[in-house]
Amino acid sequence: MLFSEIAYGPIHSRRLGTSLGVELMPLDHKLCTFNCVYCECGWNQPVSHPKLPTREQVRGALEAKLQALLNEGVSLDVITFSGNGEPTLHPDFLDIIRDTIALRNRFFPLAKVSVLSNSTQLCRPDVVEALKLCDNRILKLDAATDEMMRRIDLPVNDQISVSTIVRWLAQFDGNFTLQTCFLRGEHNGLLIDNTAADQLNAWYEAVDILHPKQIMIYVIDRKTPEEHLQKIPRDEMEQIAEPLRHKGYDVIVSA
């Protein structure tokens, strides 16, 4: 499922409410630093020179869409950067976020600006600065062991490690939302299960190191590129959340 417009929606997000999406990646294929087995956008496609929307195109499309929504009397909870891959890959990400905040303040001052990111570009100071300007930084950590992270997320850079991602996430001093997809299954003959006891214990330890202000845990909800995956039942997701809630964490379960 690919998004074919720069500004799309609004749609109802099970985690964020009424959300206007902003697409910074190509409109005809996925471009991401991960190739997650559960991604609703499918697998990465090899493209020599991917065409990204320009900063000016993003600003123009977003301004036109916000004006139209205001004219129609549509309420808006959030402007969300997500879509066909990793939004922080855009070279003008910081300036685009600044433009977005200015447009939000003009049209829908109560709406939040949110970014869903896989955390792999947090080595870039401009990306960290941009995310700190946003209301919601929703940052991924699908597993807390290298082996399981690589089985689930299939990083393009196979040298990236969980310890590196955790160190990058620590830059926010807990002022972010940690997002994790829980699933079971297999891919290329390898077992996938980040709900196993050893995996959960490692993940709980990472949570305690990072102490995020909010935690979102969710399950696969749409068709996935890897067919041999299982959706985790709601009661099991609540069991995963319970130890964290007992410690005082704000945990949202989408299942």
- 200 to each of 6, 172, 230, how far by Cα in Å? 37, 23, 17
**238 domain-assigned:** yes
Boundaries of domain holding 170: 7-254
CATH code for the domain of 139: 3.20.20.70
**61 domain-assigned:** yes
**250 domain-assigned:** yes
The total of structural domains in the chain comes to 1
Mean pLDDT value across residues 173-185:
98
Q: 212 — phi, psi (to 5°)? A: -65, 150
**51 domain-assigned:** yes
- Could you read off the pLDDT of 136-155 as tens digits, one per residue? 999 999 999 999 999 999 99
**pTM of the prediction?**
0.93
Give the helix/strand (H/E) hosting 114. Answer: strand 112-117
**185 domain-assigned:** yes
Is the predicted pLDDT of residue 63 greater than 90, yes or no?
yes
- Report the percent of the chain where pLDDT is more than 70: 99
Q: Which of 33, 34, 31 is nearest to 53 (CA)?
A: 31
**107 domain-assigned:** yes
**2 domain-assigned:** no
Asked if residue 117 lies in contact with residue 88, where contact means CB atoms within 8 angstroms, the answer is yes
Q: Which of 16, 99, 114, 13 is nearest to 62 (CA)?
A: 99
Lowest mean pLDDT among 16-20, 51-55, 65-69, 141-145: 16-20
Is the predicted pLDDT of residue 13 greater than 80, yes or no?
no
* Residue 238 neighbours by CB under 8 Å, 6+ apart: 253, 255
- Report the percent of the chain where pLDDT is more than 90: 86
**131 domain-assigned:** yes
Where b means 16+ CB within 10 Å and e means fewer, 154-179 reads: bbeeeebebeebbebbeebeeebbbb
Q: In 3-state terms, what secondary structure has residue 25?
A: coil
Mean pLDDT value across residues 92-109:
98
